[in-house]
Amino acid sequence: MKKMTRKLLNFMSTRLGFVLTLLCFYWLKTMWAYTVDFNLDIQGLYQAFLAFVNPIPLGLLFIGLALYFKRSAIFYGFSIFIYILLFIWLFSNAVYYREFSDFVTVNTMMASSSVSAGLGEAALGLFRPWDIIYLIDFPILGYLMYKKFIRVDHRPFNKRASFAITALSTMLFTANLFLAEIDRPQLLTRGFSNYYVVRALGLPAFLGYSGNQTYQANKERSKASAEDLKPVEEYIQNHYAEPNKDYFGIAKGRNVIYVHLESFQQFLIDYKLQADGKAYEVTPFLNSLYHSNSTLAFSNVFNQVKAGKTSDAETMIETGLFGLNQGSFMVNYGGTNTQQAAPFILSKNGGYTSAVFHGNAGSFWNRNTAYKQWGYNYFFDAPYFTKQDDTNSFQYGLNDKIMLKDSIKYLERLQQPFYVKYITVSNHYPYTTSLIGDEIGFPLAKTKDETINGYFATANYLDSSVKALFDYLKKSGLYDNSIIVLYGDHFGISQTRNPNLAPLVGKTSETWSNYDNAMMQRVPYMVVIPGMDKGKIIDTYGGQVDMLPTLEHLLGIDSKNYLQVGQDMLSTQHQQIVAFRSSNNFVTPKYTSFNGRTYYTQTGEEITNPDETIKKELDDIRNAANTQLKISDAIQTGDLIRFYKGNDLGKVDIKKYSYNHSFKALKKIEEEKGDQSTSLYSQRKGESTIDLFDAPSYRALHPEQFESTSSSEDSSESSSDSSSSSSSSSSSSSSSSKQ
For 534, other C-beta atoms within 10 Å of its C-beta total 11
Angle between helices 203-223 and 55-64 (to 10 degrees): 80
Distance in angstroms (rounded) separating the CA atoms of residues 67 and 15: 7
Q: In angstroms, what CA-CA distances link 137 with 51, 145, 222, 407, 585?
A: 22, 12, 46, 52, 39
| Pair type for strands 586-587 and 578-579 | antiparallel
pLDDT reported for residue 708? 59
One-letter amino acid for residue 410 of the chain? Y
Please report how many Cα atoms fall inside a 13 Å half-sphere around the Cα of residue 55, on the Cβ side.
Answer: 22
Tell me which of 96-100, 408-412, 440-444 is least confident: 96-100
| Pair type for strands 482-488 and 536-543 | unpaired
Phi/psi for 148 (5° steps) reads 65, 20
Burial of 276 (0-12, 13-18, 19+ CB in 10 A): exposed
pLDDT reported for residue 338? 94
Active site residue ranges = 310
The beta-carbon contacts of 122-127 under 8 Å, at least 24 apart in sequence, are 122/395, 122/396, 122/429, 122/430, 123/95, 125/429, 125/430, 125/433, 126/95, 126/98, 126/99, 127/95
Please report how many Cα atoms fall inside a 13 Å half-sphere around the Cα of residue 436, on the Cβ side.
Answer: 13
277 and 540 in contact (C-beta within 8 Å)? no
Predicted TM-score (pTM) of this structure: 0.78
**What is the tens place of the pLDDT at every residue in 562-620?**
999 999 999 999 999 999 998 899 999 999 999 989 999 999 999 999 999 999 999 99
Distance in angstroms (rounded) separating the CA atoms of residues 341 and 463: 28
pLDDT reported for residue 243? 98
Query: Does the pLDDT value for residue 735 go beyond 70?
Result: no
Characterize 628-661 residue by residue with b for buried, 16 or more Cβ atoms within 10 angstroms of its Cβ, and e for exposed. bbbbbbbbbbbbbbeebeeeebeebeeeebebee
Vertex 660 angle, CA 657 and 663, to 5°? 95
**What is the tens place of the pLDDT at every residue in 475-514?**
999 999 999 999 999 999 999 899 999 999 999 999 999 9
Query: Does the pLDDT value for residue 468 go beyond 90?
Result: yes
Q: Is 417 helix (H, G, I), strand (E, B) or coil?
A: coil
**What is the tens place of the pLDDT at every residue in 240-259?**
999 999 999 999 999 999 99
One-letter amino acid for residue 537 of the chain? I
Tell me which of 84-98, 105-119, 205-219 is least confident: 105-119
Query: Does the pLDDT value for residue 710 go beyond 50?
Result: no
Query: Does the pLDDT value for residue 19 go beyond 60?
Result: yes
Query: Does the pLDDT value for residue 728 go beyond 80?
Result: no
Distance in angstroms (rounded) separating the CA atoms of residues 176 and 170: 10
647 DSSP β-pair partners: none
Please report how many Cα atoms fall inside a 13 Å half-sphere around the Cα of residue 91, on the Cβ side.
Answer: 17
**What is the tens place of the pLDDT at every residue in 171-199?**
999 999 999 999 888 788 755 667 788 99
Q: Say whether the peptide bond before residue 430 is cis (omega within 30 degrees of 0).
A: yes
Residues 6+ apart with CB under 8 A from 193: 582, 583, 584, 595, 596
DSSP letters, 591-608, are EEEETTEEEETTT--B-S
Distance of CA 699 to the CA centre of its chain: 32
534 and 311 in contact (C-beta within 8 Å)? no
Using alpha carbons, select from 647, 564, 525, 638 the residue that is nearest to residue 321: 564
| Pair type for strands 353-358 and 378-380 | parallel
H or E stretch covering 668: helix 662-673
pLDDT reported for residue 34? 94
**DSSP code of residue 493:** S
The beta-carbon contacts of 33-38 under 8 Å, at least 24 apart in sequence, are 33/90, 33/93, 33/94, 33/134, 36/130, 37/94, 37/97, 37/98, 38/93, 38/94, 38/97, 38/198
Q: In angstroms, what CA-CA distances link 721 with 385, 396, 434, 703?
A: 18, 20, 13, 17
* Helix residue spans in 502-655 (DSSP H): 514-519, 547-554, 612-638
Tell me which of 103-107, 313-317, 598-602 is least confident: 103-107
Phi/psi for 273 (5° steps) reads -85, 125
Residues 6+ apart with CB under 8 A from 24: none
**What is the tens place of the pLDDT at every residue in 349-408?**
999 999 999 999 888 888 988 999 999 999 999 999 999 998 999 888 999 999 999 999
Using alpha carbons, select from 537, 578, 555 the residue that is nearest to residue 301: 578
Rg, Å, the chain Cα set: 28
Using alpha carbons, select from 192, 626, 300, 621 the residue that is nearest to residue 610: 621
Q: In angstroms, what CA-CA distances link 472 with 65, 212, 292, 688?
A: 66, 51, 18, 12
DSSP E strands: which ranges in 212-305?
A: 255-261, 272-275, 278-281, 295-302
192 and 583 in contact (C-beta within 8 Å)? yes
For 558, other C-beta atoms within 10 Å of its C-beta total 16
Query: Does the pLDDT value for residue 525 go beyond 90?
Result: yes
464 and 694 in contact (C-beta within 8 Å)? no
